[in-house]
Amino acid sequence: MNTPVTSGIDRIDLMQTFVRIVESGSLSAAAAQLSTSQPTVSRRLQSLERLLGAKLILRTTHAMKLTDDGQRCYEQAKLLLERWVSLEDQLSGAGDEPVGILRVRAPHAFGQDQLIAPLTRYLQRYPNLSVDWMLNDRTPDFISEDIDCAIQVGNVADPSLVAILLAEVPRIVVATPQLLQRHPVSQVSELSQLPWISFSTYYRNEFTLKHDNDGRMESCSIAPRMATDSLYAMRKAALSGLGAGIVSAWIVKEDIAEGRLQRVLPGWNALPLPVYLVYPYSSYYPARLRKFLEMMRSVMPELAEMQAPGG
């Protein structure tokens, strides 16, 4: 009797491997994400193609392209795997219990300062969960980098992503008392006379401030002595007296309280930055992501100097 071609083959594994190949962009990237070898990934792809009786991927030395059958297989496999994970969670009783590994991308300063305490409490609450906590200020390529979700400061432009507004980060103008003694200012138009440090992620040669009481908006042009994309570098440079800067209020709270820095033109502030939890659309989200979202919604507005959305 002939042995069926499917003997000993786990169809779910084959489809998971195929989806990972498509989403990561190559067999080698898929192998790295699946913690296996490229030859193993290649054999799984060949097994799936034999099982389905169709060529799924066309490969050349420099490129990989889905066939029409491969595109249909990918779309159906994606839905089937999501439903399979949902069924596994329900039958194992893990539907509401976070398990496995959650891969999160967070901004450098925020991720190593404000969020470690709530993340620790979250992990202590769910002992069967692990978190890969990766710090980077850019929005990840969720599929190719195998990221579950990201915490993003600033607006989300990609309409293909789910973006949940968690809180807003107040931004204030600060400088050392010594700098302001040398360069006193009494109105927004005089700010251009100060030496400046720019936080290049959000402003460089111009910024707009809003008055807390009457909502007036005024813009100011500057020629920065230094520009940086690091909030920590921005704070250090301001503390050194290099110039004034617009920073997230939380990072200089203690500096202001202890007199190392002071507010410039209190009552005039930059517009707050929104903080989002961002992740790809899916027909099913595992408990580790759902519970993380619940936790972030709860704790984010309570962090130092944060404010609730629209607050």
Residue 154 lies in a domain: yes
Domain hosting residue 191, numbered range: 169-272
- Measured CA to CA, the distance from residue 204 to residue 233 in angstroms comes to 15
Torsion of CA 288, 290, 292, 298, to 10 degrees: -150
CATH of the domain at 118: 3.40.190.10
Residue 308 lies in a domain: no
- Please name the amino acid found at residue 305: E
CATH of the domain at 69: 1.10.10.10
77 and 50 in a common domain: yes
Alpha helix ranges (H) inside the chain? 11-24, 27-33, 38-52, 68-92, 108-112, 116-125, 177-182, 231-239, 253-257, 287-299
- Stretches where the chain sits below pLDDT 70 are 1-9, 61, 86, 88-95, 304, 310-311
pLDDT of amino acid 179: 97
Which residues are CB-contacts of 42 (< 8 A; sequence separation ≥ 6)?
27
Residue 260 lies in a domain: yes
278 and 267 in a common domain: no
Whole-prediction pTM: 0.72
**129-135 and 100-106 beta bridge pairing:** parallel
Residue 5 lies in a domain: no
How many structural domains does the chain have?
A: 3
196 and 240 in a common domain: yes
203 and 265 in a common domain: yes
287 and 159 in a common domain: yes
Residue pair 74/19 in contact by the 8 Å Cβ criterion: yes
Render pLDDT for 43-92 as a digit per residue (tens, 0 to 9): 888 888 888 888 888 877 677 888 888 888 888 888 887 777 767 666 65
